[in-house]
């Protein structure tokens, strides 16, 4: 049987009054009475069938069907099993027929040709990378000249100042007066 909340509340209040005048022993008593008061409170949980009632009120009925109860699904599964068993019977002769069409030398030649194509593609990628590296090296040499660095620094300063003044100008015009109320 759960303790009555009023009794637990009275014990807690009495322990709190004693706590203000006495030692830590009364503080432990007050904490225990408070815990008992919280334990006496009912648990907050929705009633049984709450979700079903919400779905019914919204016009959405939860679908509770057995998937394998459908006759159509049973027929599809049976047809799939028949097709699988027939495939397992026909597979070995089909593989033997296909095995006679391709020889080991053709498979090796195909592998060698594929490896040569991959190597050729790798050479093209490396040539492109080398060209990009030499272009970057040439541009960095030009941009490290004192005149080019001064020009780049000036351009950076001008763009930074322009951004700052644009931000100040735009933020100064902001106002909530012209915003539609929600």
How many whole angstroms separate alpha carbon 182 and alpha carbon 175?
Answer: 16
How many whole angstroms separate alpha carbon 15 and alpha carbon 124?
Answer: 86
- The separation between the first and the last C-alpha atoms of the chain, rounded to the nearest angstrom, is 52
How many whole angstroms separate alpha carbon 72 and alpha carbon 82?
Answer: 15
How many whole angstroms separate alpha carbon 26 and alpha carbon 14?
Answer: 10
In this prediction, residue 8 carries a pLDDT of: 77
For residue 128, being part of any structural domain is answered with no
How many whole angstroms separate alpha carbon 112 and alpha carbon 10?
Answer: 91
In this prediction, residue 176 carries a pLDDT of: 62
Structural domain harbouring 48:
5-58
For residue 127, being part of any structural domain is answered with no
In this prediction, residue 75 carries a pLDDT of: 92
For residue 50, being part of any structural domain is answered with yes
In this prediction, residue 123 carries a pLDDT of: 97
How many whole angstroms separate alpha carbon 95 and alpha carbon 101?
Answer: 10
Other Cβ atoms within 10 Å of 100 Cβ, number: 8
For residue 75, being part of any structural domain is answered with no
User: What distances in angstroms separate CA 76 from CA 72, 73, 112, 177, one per listed residue?
Assistant: 6, 5, 45, 65
In this prediction, residue 2 carries a pLDDT of: 55
Within 8 A by CB and 6+ apart from 156, the residues are none
How many whole angstroms separate alpha carbon 146 and alpha carbon 123?
Answer: 38
- Note down pLDDT in tens along the chain; length 182 residues: 555 667 778 888 887 787 665 666 777 888 888 888 888 777 788 888 888 888 888 877 766 667 777 888 889 999 999 999 988 888 888 888 877 777 888 889 999 999 999 999 999 999 999 999 999 999 888 888 889 889 999 999 999 999 999 988 887 766 666 655 55
For residue 99, being part of any structural domain is answered with no
Q: How many domains does the chain have?
A: 1
User: What distances in angstroms separate CA 106 from CA 92, 93, 95, 110, 120, one per listed residue?
Assistant: 22, 21, 17, 6, 21
For residue 108, being part of any structural domain is answered with no
In this prediction, residue 132 carries a pLDDT of: 96
For residue 12, being part of any structural domain is answered with yes
For residue 137, being part of any structural domain is answered with no
The DSSP call for residue 3 is P
């Amino acid at each position: 049987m759960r303790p009555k909340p009023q009794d637990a509340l009275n014990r807690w209040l009495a322990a709190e009054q004693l706590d203000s005048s006495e030692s830590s022993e009364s503080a432990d008593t007050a904490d225990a009475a408070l815990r008992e008061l919280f334990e006496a409170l009912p648990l907050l949980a929705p009633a049984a069938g709450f979700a079903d009632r919400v779905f019914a009120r919204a016009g959405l009925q939860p679908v509770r069907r057995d998937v394998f109860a459908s006759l159509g699904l049973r027929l599809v599964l049976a047809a799939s099993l028949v097709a699988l068993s027939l495939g397992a019977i026909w597979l070995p002769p089909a593989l033997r027929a296909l095995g006679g069409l391709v020889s080991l030398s053709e498979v090796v030649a195909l592998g060698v040709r594929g490896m040569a194509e991959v190597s050729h593609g790798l050479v093209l990628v490396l040539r492109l990378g080398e060209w990009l590296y030499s272009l970057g090296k040439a541009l960095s040499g030009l941009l490290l000249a004192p005149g080019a660095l001064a020009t780049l620094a000036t351009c950076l300063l001008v763009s930074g100042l322009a951004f700052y003044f644009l931000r100040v100008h735009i933020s100064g015009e902001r106002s909530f007066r012209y915003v539609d109320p929600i």
